[in-house]
Amino acid sequence: MEQENTNTATEQSHGAEAASVEPQPSEQNTSEDNILEGSEEQSTDEEMVNTEASTESETTAEAPEAEPEENKVPERVVPEAADYKVPEGLPEDIRTWAKEADMTQEQLDSALVKFGGYMKSVEEGNINRIRKGATELIKGWGDNAKQNTTLAKRAIEHMDPDGDLKDLLKLPEVGNHPAVIKFFYKNGLKLREGGFIKSGRPSSGKTEQNRAHRMYPNDAPKS
């Protein structure tokens, strides 16, 4: 009996050991399997994201964005000499000069504007000097200034009865030039001495013509 009990206890003990040795699914193992599966899925997702980002970067590098129209530098065009547009009245040689200087139409226009401003400044400076000279001349005549200028005007009327010089003398650089004023003043003195004109009046009438004829029979105007 004792032996049987011993065998039975031994079998029970072995059965318990076997039961303890046999692997049983547990919640912990199941949890670990899920974690591994989840890690694998997460890794795959990250690889896809990295691949997409790399593809976008390569696409961006291969196809840069187009430059805005306003930032583009216009093409530089140098016309042929005959194709330059030049203001009327300027020498034709300007076209040849512009071509030799490799100028665009815009550069030529800018140069002409600056040159025109320079020439205008020079012209105004010359006119101012001429007027200053005329003022000094008349001032030097003192009390006879009005009489002498009137005499010069009468000489003009006598020497240019048709008014051919009228428009020319209206130009400030001509009519105000001291040399022109002196010229007509001196001729006015000669005409007054010859009886052709009186001081302050143009010569007219037979009396003045007869007197001039008596004094200068070869030069006096005929009636």
Residue 184, pLDDT score: 96
**At CB < 8 A and 24+ separation, what contacts does 83-88 make?**
84/108, 85/109, 86/112, 87/112
Report the pLDDT value the prediction gives residue 128, as an integer from 0 to 100. Answer: 95
Q: Tell me what pLDDT residue 125 has.
A: 95
Dihedral over Cα of 205, 209, 210, 215: its sign: positive
Task: Return the sign of the alpha-carbon dihedral for residues 121, 173, 126, 89.
Answer: positive
Nearest to 152 by CA among 178, 132, 173: 178
Which pLDDT does position 53 carry in this prediction? 58
Radius of gyration of the chain (CA): 58
CA 6, 11, 12, 14: dihedral to nearest 10 degrees?
120
CB 191 within 8 A of CB 203: yes
Q: Give Cβ neighbours of residue 197 (< 8 Å, ≥ 6 apart).
A: 151, 154, 155, 158, 188, 191, 203, 208
Provide the residue ranges of all domains of the chain, joining segments of one domain with +.
90-223
Q: What is the pLDDT of residue 75?
A: 84
* Structure letter (DSSP) for residue 83: G
Give residue 203's pLDDT: 46
**Residuewise pLDDT in 10s, the chain (223 residues):** 555 555 555 555 555 554 545 555 555 544 444 444 455 555 555 556 565 556 555 555 555 666 666 666 678 899 999 999 999 989 989 999 999 999 999 999 999 999 999 999 999 999 999 999 999 999 999 999 999 999 999 999 999 999 999 999 999 899 999 999 999 999 999 999 998 887 654 444 454 455 455 544 555 454 4
